[in-house]
Amino acid sequence: MIPFGLLILGIALLYFGGENLVRSSVVLADRFGMSELVIGLTLVAFGTSSPELFVSVLAAFRGQGAVSLGNILGSNIINIALILAASAVVAAIPMAKGIRKRELPLILLSYCAAALLLPATSVGRGATRLVGLFLLSLLACYILYQYRLGTQGSRSMSVASQASAVGGARPEAHSHQGDSQPGPSHQGDHQPGVLKPILTVIVAVAALAGGGHVLVENASFLAREVFGVSERFIGLTIVAIGTSAPELATSIVAAARGRSHVVLGTIIGSNVFNTLMVLGVAALSGGFGKLEPGFGIDFAIMVLVTLVLWGFAWRGRLSRWGGLSFLAFYALYVAFLMQTKGA
């Protein structure tokens, strides 16, 4: 029972670390005058993807490439087919024109770039690192592109509300004002100190590192010694669900408050950062070794659920029935993994 308890502890540490990293980073950024747009595109997006980053990089360093890559692909699938779907069951999610014409195509383009890793891993670590550098360069381009588009307002609502919904640090930030306004403009005369959020960031990073280590160590042990399944299976399911806790928490809060744009912003930002940042850093840090053939199926599933979501975007909304369909599909996918034991 000890490995199960430690597994839960690792997930709890990741949740605590991710949530507090976002909250304190938003407070610090606001204190030093960063715009809401920059906060959303960098700190909030990075914070919600930080568990995936710590776990995947640690697993890559330890030579557990299947756990590392499985975590990334599994998190992207879970974000759409589980978290977004469950949010749609609570309340149908409207999808603006910018989602179907810009955001989802950008996600699919990032998938195309990430697909280069599959053949690169068979060539060698050098080729894998080159692909990692390429993905990180695309991430920089993505952030710059979104920053320049920010004044059009399509991202402003999700960015501003993300900061308040995730961290509770900017309750006035969702007033739908322009993205480029500096944070202190709505803080009044009260300016919070920086020592407490700085210390919280340090503690949060330590929790992420510790939680990532505990999760990877015990998930791998359970895969080998208890369940007799592959590390790919554990990475795609248990580890991916654990590292998706911040996105899950953000989406639940947003759905409860009727802020569907926050749910979409969280999921889209997380999938882009998982694909470009987490995958890129993991490829640079330790690579993935020789990948199991089954990862081709998982990659195809990730692309498929995104394409289906794109189809719903062209209809203008993800309905409750659409959410239920995604949930049913995800259940079938997990059943398939269990049947094959992730082989």
Cβ atoms within 10 A of the Cβ of 258, count? 9
Q: Mean pLDDT for the chain? A: 80
Q: What's the number of domains the chain is made of? A: 1
Residue pLDDT, tens place only, 147-180: 777 655 544 445 455 555 555 544 444 434 344 4
- Predicted pLDDT at 150: 62
Tokens read off for 252: 């639940």
> How wide is the angle at C-alpha 269 spanned by C-alphas 58 and 307, nearest 5°?
105
Residue 298 and residue 61: Cα distance in Å, rounded?
22
User: In this structure, what CATH number is given to the domain that contains residue 283?
Assistant: 1.20.1420.30
Averaged pLDDT, 103-129? 88
**Those residues with Cβ within 8 angstroms of residue 280's Cβ, 6 or more apart along the chain or in another chain:** 131, 132, 133, 134, 135, 136, 139
pTM: 0.79
Tell me 275's DSSP state.
I
Residue 17 and residue 222: Cα distance in Å, rounded?
24
For every residue of 35-46, which 3-state class applies, written as one string? Answer: EHHHHHHHHHHH
Domain limits for position 244:
2-340
Paired residues of 93 in beta bridges: 318
Residue pLDDT, tens place only, 260-301: 777 787 788 889 999 999 999 998 886 787 777 789 999 999
For residues 95 and 264, the answer to whether their CB atoms sit within 8 Å is yes
For residues 327 and 81, the answer to whether their CB atoms sit within 8 Å is yes
Tell me 20's DSSP state.
H
For residues 307 and 80, the answer to whether their CB atoms sit within 8 Å is no
Averaged pLDDT, 241-270? 77
- Predicted pLDDT at 127: 84
Burial string for 28-47 (b: 16+ CB within 10 Å, else e) reads bbbbeebbbbbbbbbbbbbb
- Predicted pLDDT at 171: 41
